[in-house]
């Protein structure tokens, strides 16, 4: 009887969160899908109230066949994969280092984690001006110190520059999570293998890395979802010029700059599908964890 | 003998770790240092590290020039408001999922998580239209609602993982003593849940403070928070290194300090309890 009562109370308590999230997900999603099948150019006088012209899959075809689509997909993939490789590799090394006995470990941890708390517009601007500026930037000074010609980072090496900025922001995240995972490693197991005289590299390969595999997978999935939709880092630095237009940025330009809502919405649907493919894998892992 | 070797290894570790830590931290350190230089010293060739005339004039200039207080106030209201609103909605939901779980609890949790994966740009225009329709474009209320909704899944998840750790026996004992559901929540659960709620609040204020898609796209002059204020410095006329640094330092300082206190919660919150 009590359980019956508490069950209905529980449902009631869950209702606001569920209803709000359901609305937040469904209403804009349905609108995006709806617009994607319509010709909708608000600046040319298309009005929602007049009804919009149904164009079938035309927007989907045009979005893919436009000259900027494949380059944007390529840029997106290059950025995501590079950042993942950099942050996961360096993250593992850093986590291993931070796990060692040392003086001032807490302070080092703080130094390493700090970039994650810097708002994206600040890190983009600081890198753009104070580091990558071809005349006054630190990197220019460094290059000249070694007698090299300063690089015009954001035009000549635009994609690597974005990768550098984004990696700097996400390395702390990878390091922190991998460090947490390493610290939960069973000390006895490691000691036993140490007693057996297993060489360090072997120990890392056969004990530490397998133990980290789940944390690494989670880092990869979560970062992928966030990095697929980086925005401020490009908005502030290149504004999508010099080959830095990602899929997210392309859709943003279609929708808000050129106000081609139908076309942008079709792009949005592609982005949603892409993110969902990644999300399915993440959900599997998180779901498995819930069972334990 | 053995100790000497350990100490030597410890020294090497320390040296390496500090060097790398300082390298990673350097952009932030450099920004803070530059904010205390004059504009001329900020672009001095070669760069000056510590021996410059420390000045506060940039902070004064930024405050004066751009109505900094207004942006700061917007940031505070949006970050704190969205977090509090989110927690008020999430606490009952997380409570019921943790203590009265049903067969569907897991599915609901995962579904909530999935809403977080929806790429913002995919729904930008609909939200834009809805905001115009409701008259809340470029308003703090609008941003409070949007940021609450994007962070709600994380808030529910974090609270759920914390509530899960509260022993059910205590609740049952209270129930035996004739406590009502309300008593149970106010007198038994709340005191035990406060640390978890506090951590959740902390992490979510950080996330909301730094959010830079909706805050850039849904605001103009009135409701723009610090993210947009900083972005306005990307136009060429705003290109003064020392002032840019002062503005940046002010925008990130409160969150850096809060962030340092929330390292543990960060892992739990952002991995949805999958790594602890």
What average pLDDT does this structure show over B148-158? 91
CB of A150 within 8 Å of a chain B CB? The answer is no
Q: At how many degrees (to 10) do helices B124-134 and B140-164 cross?
A: 120
Q: Which chain B residue lies closest to A3 (C-alpha atoms)?
A: B100
Judged against a pLDDT cut of 70, whether residue B5 lies above it is answered with: no
* Residue with the larger pLDDT of the pair B168 and B74: B74
Confidence of residue B239 (pLDDT cuts 50, 70, 90): low
Confidence of residue B38 (pLDDT cuts 50, 70, 90): confident
Residue A148: phi and psi, rounded to 5, are: -100, 160
Look at strands A53-54 and A38-39 and give their pairing. antiparallel
d(C-alpha A98, C-alpha A77), whole Å = 30
Which of B24-33, B167-176, B229-238 has the least mean pLDDT? B229-238
Pair A121, B231: CB distance under 8 Å: yes
Half-sphere exposure of A25 (CA within 13 A, CB side): 17
d(C-alpha A164, C-alpha A167), whole Å = 5
Q: Which chain A residue lies closest to B6 (C-alpha atoms)?
A: A101
DSSP string computed for A183-250:
HTS-HHHHHHHHHTT--HHHHIIIIIHHHHHHHHHHHHHHHHHHHHT--HHHHHHTTT-TT---HHHH
Structure tokens at B26: 């350097």
Q: For chain A, how long is the longest CA-to-CA vector? A: 82
What are the angstrom distances between the C-alpha of B171 and each of A6, B87, B94, B105, B153? 13, 22, 15, 20, 25
What are the angstrom distances between the C-alpha of A148 and each of A144, A145, B43, B135? 5, 7, 19, 55
Cβ separation B273–A289 shorter than 8 A:
yes
The distance of Cα A184 from the centroid of its chain, to the nearest Å, equals: 26
Half-sphere exposure of B213 (CA within 13 A, CB side): 22
Tell me the count of A-B CB pairs closer than 8 A: 304
Judged against a pLDDT cut of 60, whether residue A2 lies above it is answered with: no
Nearest to B101 by CA among B164, B157, B156: B164
Pair A146, A128: CB distance under 8 Å: no
pLDDT of residue A279: 82
Cβ separation A268–B123 shorter than 8 A:
yes
Which of A31-35, A123-127, B15-19, B259-263 has the least mean pLDDT? B259-263
Confidence of residue B235 (pLDDT cuts 50, 70, 90): low
d(C-alpha A218, C-alpha A286), whole Å = 9
Identify the residue among A26, A117, A234, A245 best suited for mutation to test binding to B, counting B beta carbons within 10 A and taking the highest.
A117
Pair A223, A87: CB distance under 8 Å: yes
Confidence of residue B268 (pLDDT cuts 50, 70, 90): confident
Highest mean pLDDT pick, A44-53, A84-93, A98-107, B185-194: A84-93
Nearest to A111 among B21, B100, B241 (CB): B21
Cβ separation A116–B266 shorter than 8 A:
yes
Q: DSSP character for A170?
A: H
pLDDT of residue B101: 84
pLDDT of residue A112: 92
Q: Which residues of B touch A80 (CB under 8 A)?
A: none
Q: Which chain A residue lies closest to B104 (C-alpha atoms)?
A: A11
Identify the residue among B14, B122, B240 best suited for mutation to test binding to A, counting A beta carbons within 10 A and taking the highest.
B122
Judged against a pLDDT cut of 80, whether residue B1 lies above it is answered with: no
CB of A109 within 8 Å of a chain B CB? The answer is yes
Pair B138, B219: CB distance under 8 Å: yes
Per-residue 3-state assignment (H helix, E strand, C coil) for A108-168: HHHHHHHHHHCCHHHHHHHHHHHHCCCCCCHHHHHHHHCCCCCCCHHHHCHHHHHHHHHHH
Percent share of chain A, pLDDT over 90: 29
What average pLDDT does this structure show over B218-224? 84
Confidence of residue B258 (pLDDT cuts 50, 70, 90): confident
d(C-alpha A109, C-alpha A121), whole Å = 24
| B101: helix, strand or coil | coil
pLDDT of residue B2: 47
**What is the number of other CB atoms lying within 10 angstroms of the CB of residue B259?**
25
Q: Which domains does chain B have, with CATH numbers?
A: 59-274 (1.10.3720.10)
């Amino acid at each position: 009887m009590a359980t019956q009562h508490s069950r209905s109370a529980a449902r009631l308590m869950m209702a606001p969160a569920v209803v709000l999230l359901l609305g937040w997900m469904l209403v804009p999603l349905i609108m995006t899908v709806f617009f994607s099948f319509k010709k909708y150019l608000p600046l040319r006088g298309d009005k929602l109230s007049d009804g919009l012209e149904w164009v079938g899959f035309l927007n989907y075809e045009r979005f893919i066949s436009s000259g900027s689509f494949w380059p944007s997909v390529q840029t997106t993939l290059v950025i995501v994969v590079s950042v993942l490789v950099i942050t996961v590799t360096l993250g593992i090394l850093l986590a291993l280092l931070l796990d060692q006995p040392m003086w001032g470990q807490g302070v080092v941890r703080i130094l390493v984690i700090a970039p994650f708390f810097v708002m994206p517009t600040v890190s983009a601007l600081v890198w753009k001006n104070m580091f990558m500026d071809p005349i006054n930037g630190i990197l220019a000074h460094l290059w000249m110190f070694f007698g090299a010609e300063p690089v015009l980072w954001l035009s000549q090496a635009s994609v690597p520059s974005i990768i550098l900025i984004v990696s700097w922001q996400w390395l702390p995240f990878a390091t922190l999570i991998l460090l947490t995972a390493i610290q939960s490693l069973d000390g006895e197991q490691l000691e036993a293998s140490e007693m057996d005289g297993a060489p360090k590299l072997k120990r890392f390969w056969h004990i530490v890395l397998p133990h980290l595999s789940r944390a690494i997978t989670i880092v990869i999935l979560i970062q992928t979802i966030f990095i697929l939709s980086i925005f401020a880092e490009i908005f502030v630095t290149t504004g999508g010029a010099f080959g830095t237009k990602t899929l997210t940025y392309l859709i943003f330009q279609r929708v808000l700059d050129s106000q081609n809502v139908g076309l942008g919405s079709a792009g949005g649907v592609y982005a949603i599908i892409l993110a969902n493919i990644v999300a399915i894998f993440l959900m599997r892992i998180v779901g498995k964890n819930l069972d334990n | 003998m053995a100790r000497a070797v350990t100490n030597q290894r410890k020294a090497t570790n320390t040296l390496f770790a500090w060097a790398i830590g300082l390298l990673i931290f350097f952009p932030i350190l450099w920004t803070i240092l530059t904010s205390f230089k004059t504009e001329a010293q900020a672009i001095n060739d070669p760069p000056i590290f510590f021996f410059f005339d420390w000045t506060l004039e940039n902070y004064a200039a930024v405050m004066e020039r751009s109505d900094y207080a207004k942006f700061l106030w917007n940031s505070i209201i949006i970050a704190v408001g969205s977090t509090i609103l989110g927690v008020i909605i999430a606490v009952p939901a997380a409570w019921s999922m943790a203590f009265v779980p049903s067969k569907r609890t897991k599915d609901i949790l995962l579904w909530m998580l999935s809403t977080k994966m929806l790429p913002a740009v995919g729904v930008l225009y609909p939200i834009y239209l809805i905001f115009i329709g409701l008259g809340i474009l470029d308003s703090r209320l609008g941003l409070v609602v949007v940021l609450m909704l994007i962070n709600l899944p994380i808030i529910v998840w974090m609270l759920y993982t914390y509530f899960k750790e509260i022993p059910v026996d205590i609740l049952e004992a209270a129930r035996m003593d004739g406590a009502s559901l309300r008593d149970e929540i106010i007198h038994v659960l709340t005191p035990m849940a406060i640390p978890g709620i506090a951590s959740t609040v902390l992490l979510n204020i950080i996330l909301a403070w730094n959010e830079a898609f909706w805050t850039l796209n849904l605001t103009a002059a009135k409701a723009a928070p610090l993210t947009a204020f900083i972005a306005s410095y990307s136009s060429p006329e705003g290109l003064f290194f020392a002032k840019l640094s002062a503005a940046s330092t002010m925008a990130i300082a409160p969150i850096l300090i809060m962030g340092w206190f929330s390292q543990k919660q960060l892992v739990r919150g952002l991995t949805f309890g999958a790594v602890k």
